[in-house]
């Protein structure tokens, strides 16, 4: 990773290109358990080294932060951040795009099922 990308993954102070103090103090280890499970699922040891998990977490947080900043830049023209902004950014990565659209459609199905369940519950009451 280059030094130039390190500053872009942090929040910037309004009107400044310097990261704000609060953004530099991100809570480390926040995704440790989830990442350990994911790493194990992809073939790593069941209990990977803490340094490895910390490195993967840093990479993931940097990637997501960068993606959000890019999506926000796209959305600035419209004034509103939408799911489509993220889909636009990953449009060339077909496996990622397909998984996202699958998860979004599954989420929509779950919303519809919950809505139907609430209606049925109201009828019983």
Q: What is the pLDDT of residue 18?
A: 43
- Residue 55 neighbours by CB distance under 10 Å: 12
- State the pLDDT confidence band at 15, using cuts at 50, 70 and 90: very low
Length of the chain in residues, anyone? 125
Q: How far apart are CA 73 and CA 78, in angstroms?
A: 10
Per-residue model confidence as pLDDT tens digits over 36-55:
999 999 999 999 999 999 99
- pTM for this one? 0.67
Per-residue model confidence as pLDDT tens digits over 73-102:
999 988 899 999 999 999 999 999 999 999
Structure tokens given for 77: 């023209």
Alpha-carbon Rg for the chain in angstroms: 19
Residues facing 19 on adjacent strands: 12
């Amino acid at each position: 990773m280059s030094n130039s990308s390190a500053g872009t993954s942090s929040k910037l102070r309004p009107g400044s290109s310097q990261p704000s103090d609060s953004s530099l103090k991100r809570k480390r280890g926040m995704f440790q358990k989830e990442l350990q499970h994911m790493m194990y699922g992809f073939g790593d040891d069941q209990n990977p080294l803490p340094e490895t998990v910390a490195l993967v977490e840093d990479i993931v947080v940097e990637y997501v932060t960068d993606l959000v900043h890019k999506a926000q830049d796209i959305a600035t023209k419209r004034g509103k951040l939408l799911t489509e902004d993220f889909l636009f950014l990953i449009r060339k990565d077909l496996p990622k795009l397909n998984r996202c659209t699958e998860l979004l459609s599954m989420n929509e199905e779950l919303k519809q099922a919950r809505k139907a369940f609430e209606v049925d519950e109201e009828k019983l009451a």
